[in-house]
Amino acid sequence: MINDWKLGMRMLRYAHGIKMNCIAAGLVMLLEIPAVILGRMNGNGFPAFYMLLVAGMLPTQALFSLSVAGMAQASPLKKKLQTKIPALMNFSIMAAIYLTGGLFCGIMVWGKAENREFIYENMIILAIAIAAIMVYMGVAYKHFIAASAGLLPVLCFMMSKGLSGKGLPNVLSGRGTPFWQVLLGGFAILAAGAMAEYLLSLLVYRAPMDKMAQSAPLRKEI
């Protein structure tokens, strides 16, 4: 598993548009980190973190661009490049983003204990949103329109819950729940999302790559 993850990271250097993807991800992170900090200070939930999730998707998208090449299609690594390796990479990146969000939440709980329940609910909302994105990415590169149609309502619902302050039913929340249990619960949701992504990618593996899932410059070359 670790070797597959390392292989994916090494192969990123050959991905289409990797330099521009790295620049775009870096700019998003530089712009969003202050927004995240300000949002946490004002108690506004996780709106800024959703832009970080977009940046987190870019390396996996770049990895999928390798599967467009004829050499990759003929490679014995073809199946791994479209199933296991993207799922592992996506989980590691999204887990890092979620952990960052969790650390901010820990600071907020320590500073404003009266907001504990609201913060816990936002942690679970973010975890569900990340899991939904991972499920989406397991299908999107073969069935882009169908996957997008399924993802957008889920993300809109999650963001509306986080922004409204109403949250979700009291799952893993409440004043008596330790912070570490909520954080681990979030990671469990992420792990389930990564497993679903992998299983769905196996299900649609034999379908051709969807041109709409690739960047505009690459679509012209397909």
Give the CA-trace dihedral at 96, 102, 104, 109, to 10 degrees.
-170
Q: Is the pLDDT of residue 38 over 80?
A: no
Q: Mean pLDDT throughout 169-194?
A: 78
Backbone angles phi, psi at 199, to 5 degrees: -65, -40
CA–CA separation, 111 vs 117, rounded Å? 13
Is the Cβ–Cβ distance between 194 and 92 less than 8 Å? no
What's the pLDDT tens digit per position in 108-122?
Answer: 777 666 667 777 888
pTM, two decimal places: 0.82
pLDDT at 49: 65
